Each structure stands twice: as structure tokens, then as C-alpha cells.
Amino acid sequence: MSPASQVDAWLQRLASERQASAHTVDAYRRDLAKLLRFMEAQGVATFDALDPNRMRAFIATEHRAGLAAKSLQRLLSSCRSLFRQLIREGALAHDPMAGVRGPKVRRKLPQVLDVDEAGALVETDSGGKLAVRDRAMLELFYSSGLRLSELVNLRWIDLDLDGGEVRVLGKGSKTRVVPVGRPAITALRALGAAEGMPPDSPIFRGRGGAPINPRTVQLRMNKLALGLPKHVHPHLLRHTFASHMLESSGDLRAVQELLGHADIATTQIYTHLDFQHLAKVYDAAHPRAKRKP
């Protein structure tokens, strides 16, 4: 089997057996296409002919072409995943990635809204026939820390307004149940009263009753946040939810569960945000913390 055929088989397995999202499969496909082009340029006909030195040369080539450190790390991860599968199948006798390390990625802290900014955003009255939908959408984002893909795919049957819970289908087709706050429940009841709540109907509908397009949500949020000094997007409210929850509770594990993170290391970035907040309070309040201009 050719390397290209082996890659295709791996991608099909990702989609069917591991239920990876189309976005994830496309990312793997783009990364592995780079590897296949490198092999062709180097005259390497099989994955068995690859070794750590050649893989380092591959990474160096992509780095010189301008690929950022974060993208290089993802490229390495894609290659490792493919090689591990081929080794399990007996199609590869050794690991070409053994000892290969990518550049360190400087992790960028996500921007968040403070409590007043978040309150001003979710309470924005957009006016017109979309006002009820917009309010419910913003309240649910901030109340439950949902991803954009999770919010647009919600149906009324997923929501328990009396119990204050919503069942969410997250990454990797993993289901979690998260609380819904009182203002969000009120806004959702208003939306249901205005549009009806057939159990299998999307909560947030687009044209023809289909789930609202993610791009539509992004555009609405940009319009509603014109008065705020920060670039507002759906994931910003998820970051804000996580930061405010951690700031108030200090319970990292609980925030991990609420966000649906598989690895707590992903959630730990919010501990840095929390420390930044504490440092600002300290700098502003402690007489010995005043820095000279």
C-alpha cells in the first residue's frame, strides 16, 4: 500500500471508528499532505524509509517556509498519530518520530470580559424580532460555557428548564450535563414562548427551521458588542465563563468538567488568568506594590 493510501485509510478510521469531527480530519489531512509532499521531493517511497533525522529535516523545512511553532507542534502530533497506528497494524517496524521534538510554543492567554462587561453584553437589547433570540443565545453562552458548535446544535429536548440543566454533545461525541443559570432560563422561556418548543426542533433556528449557522452567531455577537473595547466572539464568552467560575470557586476539576475538557492541562490556562487578576488587585491595593512609572 502506498503512503497516500495508508494516510487515506487512517483518516477514514479517524472519522468512522474514533468519530473525529470533520474539522479534525481535515486538519490531519492538511498536515499529512505536507509530509507526503516532503517524501516525494526527497525520493522517499515508504514510511519505513523515514527516520528521526529525515523527520527533523522535514520540520526544519516547514519552519523555514514560515510555519508557526504552534502549527509545527500540531504537524508533529499528526505524524505521531499516523505512525503509532501503522506500528500497531504491523505496517511500520520503527517510529520515525523517536526523539524528535518541535519548537516550544509560547502559550497565549485568552482574553476575557470582566463581570461588568459580561453583564452589559448579555443584557444588550438588540431590538427587533431577533432580540429575544439574541438574549437567550448570549445568556446561555455565558451561563453554561458552551462551545459555538455545541450551542448551534442544541434542541429543545436537550434542555431541562425546570431542572436548570442542558445536555450537550461535545468534542469526540462526548455528552455532558451542565447547569443553566436563572437569567438564561428566563431568556430561554421567553424564546420558547415566542417561537414554540417542539422537542426535536433546534433551540436557535436559522432559515427553514434548520440550526442557526455558526457564522450568523459570530456576526450577531460582533454587532451586539460594538460598545465594548474588546473583540467579542463566541469563544470569548466560554473563556469568560471559565475564568469567572475559577475565580469564584478555585475548583479546577469542576471547571474542567463543566467545559468538557478531556485533559486538565487544557483547563489550567485559566489558573494563569486568575493569577493575573490577583496580581492586578495586589498592585492596585498594596502600598509596597506600587511600581515606579
Quote the crossing angle between the two packed helices 52-64 and 22-42, to the nearest 10°.
110
Instruction: With CA atoms as reference, report the closest residue to 72 among 54, 57, 60.
Output: 60
Positions marked active-site: 147, 171, 235, 238, 261, 270
Asked whether the beta carbons of 87 and 95 are under 8 A apart, the reply is: yes
Instruction: With CA atoms as reference, report the closest residue to 59 among 73, 46, 47, 48.
Output: 73
Sign of the torsion angle spanned by Cα atoms 67, 70, 74, 80: positive
Asked whether the beta carbons of 135 and 188 are under 8 A apart, the reply is: no
Q: How many CA atoms lie within 13 A of 290 on its CB side?
A: 5
> Assign residue 100 a region: left if phi > 0, alpha if psi is -120 to 50, beta otherwise?
beta
User: Cell triple for residue 37?
Assistant: 509532499
Cα angle 263, 178, 257 (rounded to 5 degrees) comes to 20
Burial class (CB in 10 A: 0-12, 13-18, 19+), 190: middle
172-179 long-range contacts (CB < 8 A, ≥24 apart) are: 172/18, 172/19, 172/20, 172/262, 173/19, 174/260, 174/262, 176/257, 176/258, 176/260, 178/144, 178/145, 178/146, 178/258, 179/143, 179/144, 179/258
User: Cell triple for residue 32?
Assistant: 499529512
